């Protein structure tokens, strides 16, 4: 836990290269092995939850999980000792997820009460969040995230508006259908139904039976069908405006006045008229 000094040992630099970077052959291999381990652990947790499969392969699942848990633990330790500032990793989002994905199995070893195990299963499932690491491997998501960030506020307003409309319409439907045995037994349930309908999910576990109820339901559907256009329009416009910046402008800088964002086929600087280099 002692802070590494300025003269970092050679093996630490190598370990850091392998774990945190993907430029060398061993670095790439490490990433692929880790990816397979994460996916395996998720598949294991999933299969274990299926009663019939768990009954047959319980011992295999137990051993496999111990192996994966130990490997994850080793990786966690390696990450801490190979980085310059371990605290930044430990308290980062992925640092906490890494820790939480190893702890449950150890805890299940110490607390082997029948009741405690049920609760521990819950903790163990947090390991699923490890899959989020996959996003690290995707470079193409850059523009996606930029466009989402730019339209974040507008989408939040849209979602809030949808929730407000659903609360109002759910309340109206409760008044119309509450005494008809059609599932609208309370306002929260009616609001749940309004969300199910507005988002065009439509389970059918709750459905209006009165003529007026069906008329309002039809109105909600057409409204939901129409306003889906809004988030789409927002994000779409954001993408268009980003695409434009990417496609039509180049990264040249005027040798005279250092102006940037020249058109791709520009011969002269738009600012000072100086000829551009090619």
Residues 134 to 173 in contact with a copy of itself, rule: CB under 8 A? 134-135, 138, 140-141, 143-144, 147-148, 153-164, 167-168, 171
Q: Which of 67, 77, 84, 231 is nearest to 148 (CA)?
A: 231
Query: Got the DSSP string for 38-81?
Result: HHHHHHHHHHHHSHHHHHHHHHHHHHHHHHHHHHHHHHHHHHHH
Q: Nearest approach, Cβ of 54 to a copy of itself (angstroms)?
A: 9
Provide, for the chain, the percentages of residues in helix, strand and coil under a 3-state DSSP scheme, each rounded to the nearest 5. 70, 0, 25
**Among residues 63 and 134, whose Cβ is nearest to a copy of itself?**
134
Scanning 66-74, 82-90, 96-104, 125-133 for contacts with a copy of itself by CB under 8 A, the matching segment is 125-133
The answer to whether residue 196 forms part of the interface with a copy of itself (CB under 8 A) is yes
Residues 200-239 that bind a copy of itself (CB under 8 A): 200-205, 207, 211, 214-215, 217-218, 221-222, 224-226, 228-239
Residues 20-79 that bind a copy of itself (CB under 8 A): 42, 45-47, 49-51
Residues 245-274 that bind a copy of itself (CB under 8 A): 247, 259, 261, 265, 267, 270-271
Q: Nearest approach, Cβ of 93 to a copy of itself (angstroms)?
A: 14
User: Which listed residue (120, 191, 254, 269) binds a copy of itself by CB under 8 A?
Assistant: 191
Measure the CA–CA gap between 163 and 100, rounded to whole angstroms. Answer: 33
- The count of residues interacting with a copy of itself (CB under 8 A) is 92
Q: Which of 80, 87, 85, 129 is nearest to 104 (CA)?
A: 129
Orientation angle between helical segments 152-177 and 141-150, nearest 10 degrees? 70
**Among residues 100 and 187, whose Cβ is nearest to a copy of itself?**
187
User: Which listed residue (73, 210, 242, 250) binds a copy of itself by CB under 8 A?
Assistant: 242
Orientation angle between helical segments 25-49 and 51-82, nearest 10 degrees? 150
**Among residues 51 and 113, whose Cβ is nearest to a copy of itself?**
51
Measure the CA–CA gap between 40 and 55, rounded to whole angstroms. Answer: 19
């Amino acid at each position: 836990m002692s802070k590494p000094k300025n003269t970092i040992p050679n093996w630490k630099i190598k370990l850091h290269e392998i774990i945190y970077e993907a430029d060398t052959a061993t670095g790439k291999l490490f990433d692929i092995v880790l990816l397979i381990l994460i996916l395996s652990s998720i598949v294991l947790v999933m299969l274990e939850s299926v009663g019939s499969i768990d009954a047959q392969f319980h011992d295999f699942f137990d051993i496999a999980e111990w192996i994966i848990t130990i490997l994850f633990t080793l990786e966690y330790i390696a990450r801490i000792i190979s980085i310059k500032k371990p605290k930044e990793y430990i308290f980062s989002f992925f640092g906490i997820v890494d820790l939480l994905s190893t702890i449950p199995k150890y805890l299940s070893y110490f607390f082997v009460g029948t009741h405690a195990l049920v609760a521990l299963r819950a903790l163990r499932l947090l390991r699923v969040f490890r899959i989020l690491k996959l996003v690290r491997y995707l470079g193409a998501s850059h523009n996606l995230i930029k466009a989402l960030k730019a339209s974040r506020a507008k989408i939040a307003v849209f979602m809030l508006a949808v929730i407000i409309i659903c609360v109002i319409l759910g309340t109206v439907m409760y008044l119309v259908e509450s005494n008809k045995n059609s599932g609208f037994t309370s306002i929260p349930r009616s609001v749940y139904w309004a969300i199910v309908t507005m988002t065009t999910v439509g389970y059918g576990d709750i459905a209006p039976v009165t003529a007026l109820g069906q008329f309002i339901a039809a109105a909600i559907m057409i409204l939901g069908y129409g306003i889906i256009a809004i988030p789409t329009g927002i994000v779409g416009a954001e993408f268009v405006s980003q695409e434009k910046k990417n496609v039509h402008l180049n990264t040249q800088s005027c040798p005279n006045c250092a102006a940037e964002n020249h058109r791709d086929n520009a011969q002269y600087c738009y600012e000072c008229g100086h000829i551009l280099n090619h």
